[in-house]
Structure 1
Amino acid sequence: MTDELTGPEQFTDEDRRYSGSRFRDVVDALFANPYQTVWGREGEPPLPDREQTIKSVFGGLLARGRSSRFEGASARTLDSAADLRWGSDRKGFARFLHPTGVCLVGRWQITEDTPYSGYFRRASKALVVARYSSGGGGNRRGRIRSLALVGKLFPTMDPDHHMPLRTANFITQQDIGGERSDSINAAELRNAPDVTVFRRGPAGTLLIKVASVFRRVDAEPTIRQLYPIAELGKAGDEPTRAPAFMRLLVAPEQPVIAGEDLDVRDEVMAQIFDRGDPVPKRTLTFTIDVTDDGDTSGTPFRVRRTFRNWRRIGSLVFDNAVVSHNGDAVIHFAHPTWRQDRDDPATATRLNKVKVR
């Protein structure tokens, strides 16, 4: 991974100028440069693979300069709300973590009564752009990997809404140390995943270094709170009421895509498309479960979380997808800074791009 591909990582004028995005502009950007013009068609080039290693993220075990660059990138994901980060050459920047993935387009819908605010309220509907990716052991089935789904909600159901809209982002993932899941159907994605550092073997050193950087720029490196969604579209004087935990599961009616050593990007695409046919044929649905009842135990190297009283409140339904350069290098998903009280903005760890707690 070259310097040209990875920088600049810090907060820039492009981030500073952000005032919202049009859904259509973001989708058009994702579909502008697919790696395969038609997914799975004979003669198309293979999808690119990029490893995550101590060297690619930090420049080596003892390197210093790259560590500060990764720290700048970590702070920027907390401070920048930008949906697209183009860079001066309009090619974006390669990710340090989860460098390859597949982007999805669809809708968020809450169908059940809830005590929460914003787009967790019943009857809430939003357009969604999401990215499914794999961290750790690569993209292939049968290996230790950490599957993840991140997304951004646009507070509209009009794909051609003409005004830029500020989005709300969510982050969900399997065990950060990885799991050996047979398919995306078997993966449990949560905003508060378990952590098994040494499940990756020697590569666990990378997780330890990453966690140390995350703690320097924020407070809690393994939980991504849900208040951005609970604050989307609500009146300024209305109190925030966000669930503590969210779980996304592939809906039980979705088929399991067969194939040994299957790339997760191909697996996701096959849920929606037939190989070699550019027209979407099906949808991919995830159920949305929430709870406020959970506990954390263990050590920093082996974090275990237990939950009770999950409630199914809605679904994410995706009807299009693409594997593209802009999906790997341009789209940006803001990470929420930790709040001591998830419903109180005044308790945020970072304020005005500075860690204050």
Structure 2
Amino acid sequence: MTHAPPESSPRRSRRAPSGRRAARPPRRRRVWRWIVLALVLLLLAVGGVGYWLYRGLDGNIKGVDIDRAIGGDRPERLPTSGQNVLILGSDSRAGDNAALNTGKVAGARSDTALVMHIPEGRREAVAVSIPRDTLVTRPECAGSDGGQVPAKERVMFNSIYAQAGPACVVKTVESMSGVRMDHYVEIDFAGFKGLVDAIGGVTVTVDRDIRDKSSGLDLTAGTHKLDGTESLAFVRTRHGIGDGSDLGRIGLQQQFMIALLSEIKKQDLLGSPAKTYRIADTLTAALTTDSELASLTKLAEFGRSLNGVDPSTMETIMLPVEYDRIDRNRVVAAEPQAGQLWKALREDAEIPESAKKSPAGGGTS
């Protein structure tokens, strides 16, 4: 069968040079889930400062009616009380994000995508990372502008956000996995930068010099306190580390998000309502959720339902992928591993070890 070439993307991944295996990805990627957990802490902390503060924060959150946009053609909900949440970190080139666009690229991309599975009992959660360069079949979708976006094969996953909006990303994930997404949470890069500046910066330590002209990152080996702009460069960089692929960047993202959460925990949020409000205001302004979560009250209720989840036991794995046979700069879901992984989530069951192995990642997720 003849395949159409993948849709062009301004941001192409780079494969390791011939004869070299791509760097093995870290076993745990605690990336955007730390932001969600931090958000819950912040929301609970500001709960008593006053109704007018509540109204201001509540009005910040943007909602998307996912159910209406997708319609009834969706997988069944879990037969248990377990839930699945699609978390996107969006790299928008519009509005405040335009000034952060060092690559001068138009449009927007879902730079990070995690399917967070919260099993019955709300204790040992798992997050499945979908590599942004994965080629998928995009189903027919209702676009953000109200028109219809036709179905298409071999579309790069992170381009769907720009092509058709968040509801189509949800529908694509549901179509490829058979897993119903109960909720949707998105945070953009402009809000990420503002959050770091609001808490006074984040301290990281690197064991070697990192210089990346593409991201603007220029660090010497040692400890540095990064402001918002520098932090964005840190989590975006890839050309100054490893083999220049996304795998090295994922490691830096993991390191940074742990440092970010540690910094938030050190802040005297309960003792400084003004600072807490400033941080929460910055973060909620960067949030887009499904309409069922688009209020402080609903977010707080959902956060309280996660109280039993221990972050130290939360496993994050990568969707098993292999290099595409036509374009080695792209990956596709590896079978039967990917099918085993999605089946476990559909049934709220334990994920088998075989479903955690990714051929394109050196054999591990």
The TM-score with structure 1 as length reference comes to 0.25
* Higher-helix-fraction structure: 2
Q: Between the two structures, name the one with larger relative contact order (CA 8 Å, sep ≥ 6).
A: 2
The TM-score with structure 2 as length reference comes to 0.25
